[in-house]
Amino acid sequence: MGNTRAWPVLRTTDLAEALSLAEKLLSVASWHDPSGCSLDAWAHSDDDVRRLTEALPGVRVEPFGRDGAALPANLILEVTSFAQAREALGIWAGISRCHVVWDDMKWPPVPELGLGEEYRYAELQVACNSHTIHCEEWAAEHTVFVHTRAGDDERPAWLAAQVGSRVVGPVEFGW
Q: What gap in Å lies between CA 19 and CA 142, rounded to an integer?
A: 10
Q: What is the pLDDT of residues 2-13, one digit of tens each?
A: 799 999 999 999
> Which residues lie below 8 Å from residue 66, measured CB to CB, with a gap of 6+?
none
With respect to residue 15, please indicate whether it lies within any of the assigned structural domains.
yes
With respect to residue 19, please indicate whether it lies within any of the assigned structural domains.
yes
With respect to residue 91, please indicate whether it lies within any of the assigned structural domains.
no
Amino acid 107: pLDDT: 98
Q: What gap in Å lies between CA 135 and CA 158, rounded to an integer?
A: 25
> Which residues lie below 8 Å from residue 151, measured CB to CB, with a gap of 6+?
none
Characterize 84-97 residue by residue with b for buried, 16 or more Cβ atoms within 10 angstroms of its Cβ, and e for exposed: bbbebbeebbebbb
pTM of the model: 0.95
CA 69 to chain centre: 27
What is the tally of structural domains in the chain? Answer: 1
With respect to residue 93, please indicate whether it lies within any of the assigned structural domains.
no
Average pLDDT estimate for 114-124: 97
Range of the domain at 110: 4-40+75-82+99-170
With respect to residue 165, please indicate whether it lies within any of the assigned structural domains.
yes
With respect to residue 62, please indicate whether it lies within any of the assigned structural domains.
no
With respect to residue 162, please indicate whether it lies within any of the assigned structural domains.
yes
With respect to residue 50, please indicate whether it lies within any of the assigned structural domains.
no
Residue 66 has pLDDT above 90, yes or no: no
Residue 87: DSSP 8-state = H
Characterize 2-34 residue by residue with b for buried, 16 or more Cβ atoms within 10 angstroms of its Cβ, and e for exposed: eebbbbbbbbbeebeebbbbbebbbebbeebeb
Q: What is the pLDDT of residues 7-44, one digit of tens each?
A: 999 999 999 999 999 999 999 999 999 888 999 999 99
